[in-house]
Structure formats: structure tokens, C-alpha cells
A and B are shown apart, each in its own frame.
Chain A
């Protein structure tokens, strides 16, 4: 019972629902791989939506005095663009990889709490829909993605718009937190024999750090949002300036969450790049331990820098200085990563696949964003930069040039493992170059428009301010990005059907997930592998080779191998749905709230009281 490495006899009852059957199979799945793929598709859709919002923004700003959309609509657009990209696109794209990869990389059959995992996804989906739909009725949140009070209080935003935002983020927070506890437990507790912490693949390591950032950062925004929710619905005074409230309370609470959040957005991408670069350099990651420690350090320091978003609010010289220095410090561990990546490629056998190109793209572009970040970190200098397009340039270089590039690298790299087929390298190449050039066309000019005085979040600007050219270039770049993304979408779906068959290890990679067939069988590993090195397929001993040999065999079912797999169940989805209904009650009728709560409690009990999987004999 201690280990299922050897097949143990189980009750012969077949799994109630064949996991690979139809839509119902997807709704009831608790398989981390399928949940990962659900995350991937959903998040890509939201990425497109967020991107289209951005394109409208760019169209409005293409020239001075643009009149494409109204001021109100524009404010909803940038608010939803930011919110969508951060909470509905990048975080879930990372989550897609957490789900799909972590168990494979540590040699586990699933995550620690498969049903909780399903729950996280459904909450995300319903929450995402909840917060996205209003934009089509011009009722979308319009307070900016960090919703500063008092603007977002009832006094100044009487409409329903902000309600969607407050409630929506509250819901999404539940999803992220649930997932985080799940992955922390999984990584600590489900590593295969011999998979010590210092042998874990870098992606799993960075994910591990991210989960801690989530469980520490999200409670803070939860509280901040609860205050706002209570203010808007139950008449509390937390942000009511008339009652003497301090607007900086929200700002501090938000950014205590907000800065760790940006590392939540980048570290998974860093992790993916740390998988891709070694494979296509045919060299182990350079300075593995330092990469681990720098990741942890970035995470820890990330909690001590939040006020660098508030250099203009008048915190006083002492606070300014402290946060300036702590912010600069983060450049050091991040730099180490950049240099170690370059050192990884040094003397390597570089193969420029699409994945590799995007990975290198991250190193090249994130550096730019990082450096402008350091420029913000000097408060007096930031007084000229803050709330201008220079900031917009910074965070798009780190978010698009960093997170998105890294995630694209990850998608090209792991597509074979997910689908069993290769993506078209030819289209991938076009996608990369178009994306790379367009990205720079879009965001590099923003450095100039910003330093030349263009504030952010303005729906219109006068001509003759010296911004016209830069904005035009940015807009052209954005249109090209649409094309690039469209090519990617096309490539994705074509390859899904027509791509050439991949095989277990198409890239000649070294880590554990490449020892098993592609697509991965539902039980992942026929036998729990025994790990003796960081790159079992490169540096492994007999033990590694042996388990690799068994695990690479295809076509066996879990029954034949006698592997116990959890039941499929719809209960987590029902709980998630009920929870969202409960929240909807706030903006419709309290009755709905109670109804939702009731359903939730019942469903939750029946979930907790029903067995996860067939019992052993």
C-alpha cells in the first residue's frame, strides 16, 4: 500500500464514465492533463478577446482626436483589456502548464486533489464569463485594472460596471487559491522516488515559487475587494472619503498583491524557457542551483517592493528611498537568470525551432522591459515616467515580451506531448518573426510617446503634441500582431489534426515528461519512475533507463496495469456553478444568493462524502 509501483489488484468494476468519451467526459474529468488542456483553450480564447480589446484601443489612438469609440467605451476597453490579459489570459495559460506538466515532471499519476483541480478550472471559466460578458452591453468595469478608490466607490461609480469587476475578481481569486494549495501539496508530496527538490525540473521549481506567491498575495486583494464589495453593497465606509477614509489604503493593499502578481505572471514563463533552452542547446541548464535560489529570491523580494507603484502619492523621502532600493535589488537575481540562460546556450548545439526562437525572444525582450523597470525604480525619475506610456511600454515588454513569449515557447515545445502531433515549424517561424517585429513596432515607440509627455489611459489626445507618429507606428504594430496571432491560431488547429506524429521524445529532451508516450496515457506512468538525476534521459543511470523503457510502452489501459484512477465526477463543476450563482445574487436578488449557497453546500457535502476512487481490497 505504501507504493503502487507494482500492480496491485483492485475491484474489477470499470470506471463509471469512460474518460475519453465526448463532452460529458470533459465536463466530468478530473484528469490533470485534460483540465490543463481545458485551461489552455479557455485562456487562449480570453487572450484573443483581450487582444481584440487592445486592437480597438490602438485603432482609437491611431491618430489624434480619434472618435472610433466613446470615452466611456474606451475606459471599459482598457480596464477589461488589462483585467482580461492578467487574470483571464496569462495566469490561466500558466495554470494550463501547471496542470499538464507538474505531475509529468515530478513523476506523479495526478495532482494531490484531482477534484479540487477540476473545481479550480470551472470557477475560472464561470468567473471569466461573468466578468467578460458585460463589455458586449457597454456595462463593463471602467475603473482601470487596479480600480483605485475612491473612483470605484458607489459615490463616483454608481453604475453596475464596477460590481462586475469586484465580484468577478473575487470569484477568480477562489480559483487561483484552490489551485495553489493543490500544486503546493502535489509538488511537496507526489514526487516520484528519487525526485528530490534539487532534481526537480526548473519549470516545476518556478511553479512551486509561484504557488506560494499566490497563497500569500491573493488573500490581501481578497480583503481589499471585500472592503470594496461591502462599501458598494452594505454601506461600510472603508473607502468613503466623506467618512475620512484614506484612499491610500486601497492602493497599498492592491499593490501588496499587485507586485507579487507580476512575478506570478513571469516566473512560469521563466520556467518554460529554462526547459526549452537546455533541450535545444543539448546542454543541461547552467547553474541550476543558482537558478533555483534566484527564483526563490525574486519571489521573496517581490513582497517588499509594492510601493514602487506609488512613488507619486507622496509617501515621503524615507519610504521612497527604501522601496527604491528594494526594487533595484530584484534586478540582481533576475539578471543572474538572464546570464545563466545565455551561458546555457554557450558552447551548445543550438537548434532554432519555433520554441527555441520564442525562448530566445523572451531573453532578448524581457531584458528591455526589465531595464525600463529599473528606470522606474528611481523615484524622482519615475515622477516623469509614472502613468505615461513609458510605463505601458515597460509592462508590455515584460508581459508580452516576457510572459507571452515564454508561453508561446512552451506551447510549441509541449504541443507534441499534449496532442501527439508536431506543430508546423514553417508557420511557427513566420509566427515568431511577425510577432517579434510587430511586438517591437507596437511597444517600443511607447517609450518615446511616454517620455514625450503622453499620459496613459487617455481616450483621445490633441494633435501637435508630438505623439502622432509614435501612436501610428504602435497601432500598425498592433494590427500586425493580430495577423501574427491569427497565424498561430491557424497553425494550432491545423497541426492538431494534420501535424506529423511526434513520438515520445521528438526534441531529444532530457526530462522525465519525455519518457512517456505522446499523447500521455491517462495514468501517465505505467510504473512510478525512480529518478537519479536532473535529466534522466541524458545523464540517467540504469534505474532511469529501466523505468523509461517500461513507461514509454504505448497502448496499455489502466485496468491492465491495475492502476487506480479517480472517478470522473460532475460535482466540482456544480459547486463552482453554484458559487458563481451565489455571487450573481448580489447584483440581482438576494434570493439567488441563498439559492446558490444552498446548492453549493449540498453539492460540497456530496463531493466530500463520495469516494475519490475505487477502494483497494
Chain B
């Protein structure tokens, strides 16, 4: 929540661009990112068609990591969180964290509910 007071002071540099820093990446970065995303996607789908891999213990973690990776890349570069005011980072990661924890907790609770006291 609390972002650094340094920023809170300086007034609008450029009201129109919302004072956001102009040095966004350009085409050169964007197409590379696109390629990476595509490659990862192909990798995921490819993995899906290897029965032995699907059966193996690494399958699920791998897919989760891969999609997590895509998630981060898009957020960092296409949503240029990497270059923007760190306030935005706080506004996004805070809720994202709570959301993730809540989701995990829910799955845990519904997975756990078979273990109950008493017989059966």
C-alpha cells in the first residue's frame, strides 16, 4: 500500500501521458516477447501429447511453472509493469498475492475435508 513519499511529492510532469515514463520498449522487444510466448505455448501443448510425460510427476509442476512464466512475461513487458511507476506494481502484486493464497487455501480445504474425526 505505502509507496515511497519521494514520488508523492513531485507534481505532474506531463498530465497527458499521465506522467508515465516514456522509455517503453519498442517493436524490437515486443516481437521477441511474442516469440518466447509462442515457444512456451508450443512446449506446453507438445508436453500434453507425450503420455509418459503426462504420467510423470513433473508434468503438472512444469505446466504451472510455464504458464506462470508466460503470465509474468506478459505482465512485465506488455503491461510494462517492469518500466512503470512502482505504485502500479504494488496495486497489482498485493491483490494477486492474496488471491493466490486464497485459492490455494480453498483447494487445501476441499482436499482435506475427507480426513475427519470419528470413524470413516
Answer yes or no: are A and B bound together in one complex.
yes
Residues of A at the B interface (CB closer than 8 Å) are 1-3, 188, 191, 193, 196-198, 208-209, 212, 215-216, 220, 246, 248-249, 252, 256, 296, 300, 303-304, 307, 314-319
Quick check: A252 and B95 within 8 Å, CB to CB?
no
Whole-angstrom CA separation of A209 from B87 in the bound complex? 16
- Enumerate 18 A-B pairs (CB-CB under 8 Å) in ascending A order: A1-B15, A188-B3, A188-B87, A191-B8, A193-B9, A197-B2, A212-B94, A212-B95, A248-B109, A303-B98, A304-B101, A304-B105, A307-B109, A314-B116, A314-B117, A316-B117, A318-B112, A319-B112
Give chain B residues whose Cβ lies under 8 Å from the Cβ of A220.
102
Quick check: A252 and B87 within 8 Å, CB to CB?
no
Q: A212-B95, A296-B1 are in contact. List 11 more A-B contacts (CB 8 A).
A: A2-B12, A2-B15, A193-B9, A212-B1, A256-B106, A307-B109, A315-B109, A316-B112, A316-B113, A317-B117, A319-B112
Whole-angstrom CA separation of A277 from B102 in the bound complex? 37
Quick check: B98 and A216 within 8 Å, CB to CB?
yes
Q: Which listed residue (B8, B11, B87, B109) contacts A319, Cβ 8 A?
A: B109
Whole-angstrom CA separation of A547 from B13 in the bound complex? 24
Quick check: A196 and B5 within 8 Å, CB to CB?
yes
Give chain B residues whose Cβ lies under 8 Å from the Cβ of A198.
2, 5
Whole-angstrom CA separation of A505 from B52 in the bound complex? 76
Q: Which of B12, B87, B109, B116 counts the most A-chain CB atoms under 10 A from its CB?
A: B109
What's the nearest-Cβ distance from chain A to residue B108, in Å? Answer: 8
Quick check: A252 and B109 within 8 Å, CB to CB?
yes
Give chain A residues whose Cβ lies under 8 Å from the Cβ of B98.
216, 300, 303
Quick check: A316 and B116 within 8 Å, CB to CB?
yes
User: Is residue B45 contacting chain A, with contact meaning CB distance below 8 A?
Assistant: no
Q: Which listed residue (A2, A197, A252) contacts B5, Cβ 8 A?
A: A197
Whole-angstrom CA separation of A88 from B8 in the bound complex? 35
Quick check: A256 and B102 within 8 Å, CB to CB?
yes
Q: Tell me the B91-105 residues at the A interface (CB within 8 Å).
A: 94-95, 98-99, 101-102, 105
Whole-angstrom CA separation of A252 from B110 in the bound complex? 10
Quick check: A196 and B8 within 8 Å, CB to CB?
yes
Quick check: A197 and B112 within 8 Å, CB to CB?
no
User: Is residue B115 contacting chain A, with contact meaning CB distance below 8 A?
Assistant: yes
Whole-angstrom CA separation of A220 from B117 in the bound complex? 30
In the complex where A216-B98, A303-B102 touch, is A315 in contact with B113 (Cβ < 8 A)? Answer: yes
What's the nearest-Cβ distance from chain A to residue B114, in Å? Answer: 9
What's the nearest-Cβ distance from chain A to residue B81, in Å? Answer: 17
What's the nearest-Cβ distance from chain A to residue B119, in Å? Answer: 13
Chain B residue nearest to A215 (CB atoms) is B95
Q: Which listed residue (A197, A249, A256, A300) contacts B8, Cβ 8 A?
A: A197
Give chain B residues whose Cβ lies under 8 Å from the Cβ of A209.
1
Whole-angstrom CA separation of A209 from B2 in the bound complex? 11
Give chain A residues whose Cβ lies under 8 Å from the Cβ of B15.
1-2
Whole-angstrom CA separation of A193 from B1 in the bound complex? 19
Give chain A residues whose Cβ lies under 8 Å from the Cβ of B8.
191, 196-197
In the complex where A1-B15, A3-B11, A196-B8 touch, is A316 in contact with B1 (Cβ < 8 A)? Answer: no
Whole-angstrom CA separation of A216 from B103 in the bound complex? 13
Whole-angstrom CA separation of A188 from B4 in the bound complex? 12
Chain A residue nearest to B117 (CB atoms) is A317
Whole-angstrom CA separation of A3 from B2 in the bound complex? 24
Whole-angstrom CA separation of A349 from B117 in the bound complex? 57
Give chain A residues whose Cβ lies under 8 Å from the Cβ of B116.
314, 316
Give chain B residues whose Cβ lies under 8 Å from the Cβ of A3.
11
Give chain B residues whose Cβ lies under 8 Å from the Cβ of A317.
117
Whole-angstrom CA separation of A458 from B109 in the bound complex? 31
CB-based closest 4 A-B pairs: A2-B11, A196-B5, A2-B12, A316-B116
Whole-angstrom CA separation of A225 from B62 in the bound complex? 34
Chain A residue nearest to B90 (CB atoms) is A188
Q: Which listed residue (B2, B5, B87, B110) contacts A246, Cβ 8 A?
A: B110
What's the nearest-Cβ distance from chain B to residue A482, in Å? Answer: 41
Chain A residue nearest to B15 (CB atoms) is A1
Chain B residue nearest to A208 (CB atoms) is B1
Chain B residue nearest to A256 (CB atoms) is B102
Chain A residue nearest to B8 (CB atoms) is A196
Give chain A residues whose Cβ lies under 8 Å from the Cβ of B112.
315-316, 318-319
Chain A residue nearest to B118 (CB atoms) is A314
Give chain B residues whose Cβ lies under 8 Å from the Cβ of A319.
108-109, 112
In the complex where A196-B8, A197-B2 touch, is A216 in contact with B113 (Cβ < 8 A)? Answer: no
Give chain B residues whose Cβ lies under 8 Å from the Cβ of A307.
109
Give chain A residues whose Cβ lies under 8 Å from the Cβ of B108.
319
What's the nearest-Cβ distance from chain A to residue B48, in Å? Answer: 28
Give chain B residues whose Cβ lies under 8 Å from the Cβ of A248.
109-110, 113
What's the nearest-Cβ distance from chain A to residue B96, in Å? Answer: 10
Q: Which of B3, B98, B106, B110 counts the most A-chain CB atoms under 10 A from its CB?
A: B98
What's the nearest-Cβ distance from chain A to residue B37, in Å? Answer: 27
Whole-angstrom CA separation of A596 from B1 in the bound complex? 38
What's the nearest-Cβ distance from chain B to residue A271, in Å? Answer: 15
Give chain A residues whose Cβ lies under 8 Å from the Cβ of B99.
216
Q: Tell me the B2-46 residues at the A interface (CB within 8 Å).
A: 2-3, 5, 8-9, 11-12, 15
Chain B residue nearest to A318 (CB atoms) is B112
Q: Tell me the B74-100 residues at the A interface (CB within 8 Å).
A: 87, 94-95, 98-99
Whole-angstrom CA separation of A3 from B15 in the bound complex? 10
Whole-angstrom CA separation of A203 from B40 in the bound complex? 48
Give chain B residues whose Cβ lies under 8 Å from the Cβ of A300.
98
Give chain B residues whose Cβ lies under 8 Å from the Cβ of A208.
1
Q: Which listed residue (A1, A188, A216) contacts B95, Cβ 8 A?
A: A216
Give chain A residues whose Cβ lies under 8 Å from the Cβ of B3.
188, 197
What's the nearest-Cβ distance from chain A to residue B57, in Å? Answer: 24
Whole-angstrom CA separation of A197 from B98 in the bound complex? 23
Chain B residue nearest to A209 (CB atoms) is B1
Whole-angstrom CA separation of A188 from B90 in the bound complex? 12
Chain A residue nearest to B12 (CB atoms) is A2
What's the nearest-Cβ distance from chain B to residue A1, in Å? Answer: 6
Q: Which of B5, B94, B102, B112 counts the most A-chain CB atoms under 10 A from its CB?
A: B102
What's the nearest-Cβ distance from chain B to residue A221, in Å? Answer: 13
Give chain B residues whose Cβ lies under 8 Å from the Cβ of A215.
95
Give chain B residues whose Cβ lies under 8 Å from the Cβ of A2.
11-12, 15
Chain B residue nearest to A2 (CB atoms) is B11
Whole-angstrom CA separation of A191 from B105 in the bound complex? 37
Give chain B residues whose Cβ lies under 8 Å from the Cβ of A191.
8
Give chain A residues whose Cβ lies under 8 Å from the Cβ of B105.
304
